[in-house]
Amino acid sequence: MDSEQHRRYQTSMVSIYYPETTFLDSVIMSDGTEQSPGSDILTRLHSGEVFIVNSRRQNGLILFKRYHAEFAGPGAAVGGDYDCDCQKALPIGNFSLLTPESNEERQNAYKIRRQWIRLIKQITENPVPGQRVQKILDQFEQYFPPEIVALLPDVAFALLVGVLPQTVGVVRRLGSEVNSRFNY
């Protein structure tokens, strides 16, 4: 009996496996054009230089690493040795990168990047996946218009807070009622 239950558990684990993050090979923009997001940005990130996400614009960058994603919001440092393992980059909003003009400006940008990482870390400490998704969606909707957030792929949020993309899809469809009805 125990081995039968164990076998069913293994089967269900295989059925929810999500493949590599190939979702960002190209994106269809709202005007119908196909675009390869972040390829120029990724080239700049891999150059070894340090850049700063423009703090005077409503913008940000989702950086896709091998097993997770990070968000660099306005004022955050990107590039250098810190992002040499970045595989994809998804710019959000009116995106712009600046070059730091002094060591002080660079250090401040690294501090801001750490603050963005801490914010995401606080969200991921919640043990309930649906609540993590709702919180990250709420945070993004504070920084960006809802129509921009709606265009971001489920897998981007999933990799930011450590859930399955299907969980993001369910929370997006059902909203906050998913957390009250299903405590998953």
pLDDT in tens, 108-148: 999 999 999 999 999 999 999 999 999 999 999 999 999 99
Helices 103-124, 154-161: inter-axial angle, 10-degree rounding: 90
Q: What does the pLDDT read at residue 111?
A: 98
Q: What does the pLDDT read at residue 13?
A: 33
Domain boundaries, the chain: 23-117, 126-184
Q: What does the pLDDT read at residue 131?
A: 97
Taking 70 as the threshold, does the pLDDT of residue 30 lie above it? no
Instruction: List, for residues 74-105, the tens digit of each pLDDT value.
Output: 999 999 998 999 999 999 999 999 999 999 99
Q: What is the mean pLDDT of residues 60-66?
A: 96
Put the strands of the sheet holding 59-64 in their side by side order: 69-72, 59-64, 88-93
Q: What is the mean pLDDT of residues 61-86?
A: 96
Q: What does the pLDDT read at residue 17?
A: 37
Binning pLDDT at 50, 70 and 90, where does residue 34 land?
A: very low
pTM for the whole structure: 0.77
Q: What is the mean pLDDT of the chain?
A: 83
Binning pLDDT at 50, 70 and 90, where does residue 175 land?
A: confident
Q: What does the pLDDT read at residue 14?
A: 32
Q: What is the mean pLDDT of residues 3-8?
A: 47
Q: What does the pLDDT read at residue 80?
A: 93
Least-confidence region, from 18-27, 124-133, 166-175: 18-27
Taking 60 as the threshold, does the pLDDT of residue 28 lie above it? no
